[in-house]
Amino acid sequence: MPAISLKVNQRAVTAEVEPRTLLVEFLREHLSLTGVHVGCDTSQCGACTVFVDGVSVKSCTMLAMEADGAEVTTIEGLAQGGKLHPMQQAFHEHHGLQCGFCTPGMVISSADLLKRNPRPTEGQVREWLEGNICRCTGYHNIVKAVLACAEGSAK
Amino acid sequence: MKEFHFHRASSVADAVAAVKGASAGKFLAGGQSLLPVLKLEMAEPSDLVSISRIKELRGVCVDGNKLLIGAVTTHAEVAASSEVKKHIPGLAALAEHIGDAQVRNRGTIGGSVAHADPAADYPAALVALGATIKTDRRAIAAEDFFTGLFETALEPDELVVAVHFPIPEKSAYAKFASHASKYALCGVMVSKTGSDVRVAVTGAGQKVFRVPEMEKALAARFEPSALDGISISADDLLSDGQASAEYRAHLVTVMAKRAVAAA
Ligand SMILES: Cc1cc2nc3c(=O)[nH]c(=O)nc-3n(C[C@H](O)[C@H](O)[C@H](O)COP(=O)(O)OP(=O)(O)OC[C@H]3O[C@@H](n4cnc5c(N)ncnc54)[C@H](O)[C@@H]3O)c2cc1C
Ligand code: FES
Ligand code: FES
C-alpha cells in the first residue's frame, strides 16, 4: 500500500492507505478524529468540511492520497491552549447549534469566510454557507454567530 | 468505490504517459465530479493520475488580447484573480457562483470542461467568448469541443492544459440555479466585441448552444429590450423534475436579458 505523510492538527502523521481511501475515512478511522462528520457522503452537506492547506474542503470528496504533504486542520485542532477558537465561542454564545451534527463543518467554513472577508454582510454569510446544510436551526443563529465573531475580531 | 492505482504526475508528459500506459486510466483534477462518479461506480478506472500539483497547469496570465487560464486553476482562484476581474469580470462572477465554497476550493476549470456536464457553467463562457481549449497535442475551438451530453472532442488520454479566452469588450453571465445543487437549470453568457455578439446557453439542452437570432438582434442594438419577442423552441430542451422544457425555454430569454443588462 502507498504511504502518505501529512500534518494533522499540527502533528506529523505517516500512514499506509489504500488509494481509494477518502480523506474523511482516514481522519475518522485511522486517526479517530470523529469530530469530522459524514452527513451525506455525496458532496452536498458540508458536515465533513476541514481545512487543507488553509482552504475549506469537503473531506468526503477528496482522496487521502491528495492530502499527502498537506496541512490538515479539523474541528479538534481549532481550539488553542484550552481556549475555544473565536468562531467556536461565537457559536456557543449565540446558540448557533441544536443537535450539533453540522457544527464542525459550519465552524470551519465560517472561519474560512472570515479569513477571506473579515467583515461580511449577512447576505454574504448566507451565500458562503450554501455548502453547509443544517436540519435543525433554520440558520438564523448560525448567521448571527458568524456576524458576531466578525465584529469581535474586527475590534 | 472500486480499487484503483494512484499516480501523482509531475509534468504534462508524465501525466499523459501514465494514462496511456494504464488499461483504463483517468486524470484526477479537483475530484468534485470524478469522486462522486466513482462512489456511484459509474466509472471504474484501473488508474487515477493526479494532475492537481503540476505547476505548469496552474494560474492565470494575460498574453496580448487573451486571458490564459491553466487547467488546474480552481474556481475560487479564477473568482479571486485580479487579472480575470479586470479583463473579463463576467467570467470571475461566473466562477464565484459555481456550486459552493468548498467545491470552488477544489474544482478546476479543466475538470469542468472535460466533464462536460450539461448543467455546468463554464461551457457557456467558453462558447460565448470564443475560447480555445489547449491540450497536450492540439488546440480545439470551444464550439467543436463540446460534442454532447458529458461528451467532448478529447481522446481518452488527452489532457486539457489551458483555456485561452479572447478578451471581449463586455460580457456577463446570468444563471437560474437549481436550488439544491447550484448547477444551472439555465445559464446564459453574452459577450460583445464590436459587432460580434454571442449568446451561449448552458443547462437547458443536451449541451451548450448558441442562439443566432438573439445574437443578430443584439448586434443591432445591445439592450435587453432588443430580445423582446424572441424565444427559443422547447423541442430539444431538457425536461426533468426541476423544470420542464417549456420552462427552460422561457428562462433562456429571461436570463439572456439579465445578462445583457449586467454586461
Ligand atoms: C455539490 C456540488 C455542486 C456543484 N455545482 C456546480 C455548479 O453549480 N456549476 C458547475 O459548473 N459545476 C458544479 N459542480 C461541479 C464542479 O464544478 C467540478 O469541480 C467540475 O465539474 C469538475 O472539475 P474537477 O477539477 O473537480 O474535475 P474531476 O472531478 O477531477 O474530473 C472530472 C472529469 O474530467 C477529467 N479531467 C479532469 N481534468 C482534466 C484535464 N485537465 N484534462 C482532461 N481531462 C480532465 C477527469 O478524468 C474526469 O473524467 C458541482 C460539484 C459539486 C460536488
Ligand atoms: S459528508 Fe461530505 S458533504 Fe456531506
Ligand atoms: S444543528 Fe443539527 S444539523 Fe445543524
Whole-model pTM: value is 0.97
Q: Are residues A107 and A127 in the same domain?
A: yes
Mean pLDDT value across residues B82-111: 98
Q: Report the pLDDT value the prediction gives residue A153, as an integer from 0 to 100.
A: 65
Q: Nearest residue on chain A to B39, judged by CA atoms?
A: A42
**Domains recognised in chain B with CATH numbers:** 5-50 (3.30.43.10), 169-263 (3.30.390.50)
Mutation choice for A interface testing from B10, B41, B102 by most A CBs within 10 A: B102
Same domain, A15 and A35: yes
* A55 vs B6, B38, B105: nearest CB: B105
Chain A CB within 8 Å of residue B41 CB: no
Instruction: Output the average pLDDT for chain B.
Output: 97
pLDDT over 60 (residue A154): no
Distance between CA atoms of residues B100 and B166, nearest Å: 27
B91 CB within 6 A, ligand 1:
no
Q: What share of residues in chain A are helix, strand, coil (percent, to 5)?
A: 40, 15, 40
Does the pLDDT of residue B181 top 90, yes or no? no
Enumerate residues lining ligand 2, CB below 6 A. A 38-41, 43-48, 58, 60
Reference B263, options B169, B166, B171; nearest CA is: B171
Has residue A50 been placed in a domain?
yes
Between chains, do A61 and B35 touch, taking CB under 8 Å as contact? yes
- Over residues B135-155, mean pLDDT: 98
Tell me, yes or no, whether A62 and A90 share the same domain: no
**Do residues A54 and A16 share a domain?**
yes
Bridge partners of residue A3, in order along the sequence: A16
B183-231 per-position pLDDT tens digit = 999 999 999 999 999 999 999 999 999 999 999 999 999 999 999 999 9
Q: Would you list the DSSP string of A32-76?
A: --TTS--S-SSS-S-TTEEEETTEEEEGGGSBGGGGTT-EEE-GG
CATH number at residue A12: 3.10.20.30
Contact yes or no for B3 and A46 at CB 8 A: no
**Which pLDDT value is given to residue B179?**
86
pLDDT tens digits for A110-137?
999 999 999 999 999 999 999 999 999 9
The confidence score (pLDDT) of residue A155 equals 47
Whether residue A72 sits in one domain with residue A15:
yes
Residue B64 one-letter amino acid: G
**CB-nearest partner of A20 from B1, B50, B105:** B1
Give the residue whose CA is nearest to atom 2 of ligand 3.
A99
The CATH number assigned to the domain holding A125 equals 1.10.150.120
Residue A149 has pLDDT above 80, yes or no: yes
Range of the domain at A96: 86-151
- Confirm whether A142 is domain-assigned: yes
pLDDT value of position B67: 98
Residues of B whose CB is below 8 A from A42? 36, 39
Amino acid at B86: K
Q: Residue A28 gets which letter from DSSP? A: I
| pLDDT 10s digits, B45-79 | 999 999 999 999 999 999 999 999 999 999 999 99
Number of domains chain A is built from? 2
Neighbouring residues of B241: CB distance < 8 A, sequence distance ≥ 6: none
H/E run at residue B69: strand B66-70
Grouping H, G, I as helix, E, B as strand and the rest as coil, residue B47 is strand
User: Both A27 and A56 in a single domain?
Assistant: yes
Read off the pLDDT band of B163 (50, 70, 90).
very high
- What the block records as the C-alpha cell of B99 is 456550486
List Cβ neighbours of B175 (8 Å cut-off, separation of 6 or more). Answer: B94, B97, B121, B184, B186, B187, B188, B203, B255
Q: Which residues of B touch A41 (CB under 8 A)?
A: 39
Q: In this predicted model, what pLDDT tens digit does every residue of A42-101 receive, in sequence order?
A: 999 999 999 999 999 999 999 999 999 999 999 999 999 999 999 999 999 999 999 999
How close A155 comes to chain B (CA, Å)? 26
Is B22's Cβ below 8 Å from some Cβ in A?
A: no
Question: Is the same domain home to A56 and A95?
Answer: no
Answer whether residue A81 is part of any domain. no
Domain final position from A46, A76, A106: A76
Closest by CA position to B71, among listed B130, B114, B124, B15? B114
Tell me if B31 and A42 make a contact (CB, 8 A cut-off): no
Distance, CA of B166 to CA of B192 (rounded, Å): 11
**Packing angle of the helix pair A86-93, A140-154 (nearest 10 deg):** 130
pLDDT given for residue B180 in this prediction: 85
Looking at the structure, do residues A119 and A67 belong to the same domain, yes or no?
Answer: no
Q: Looking at the structure, do residues A70 and A121 belong to the same domain, yes or no?
A: no
Partners of B107 on chain A (C-beta within 8 Å) are: none
Q: Do A125 and A97 fall within a single domain?
A: yes
ipTM of the complex: 0.96
Per-residue pLDDT reduced to its tens digit, A19-58:
999 999 999 999 999 999 999 999 999 999 999 999 999 9
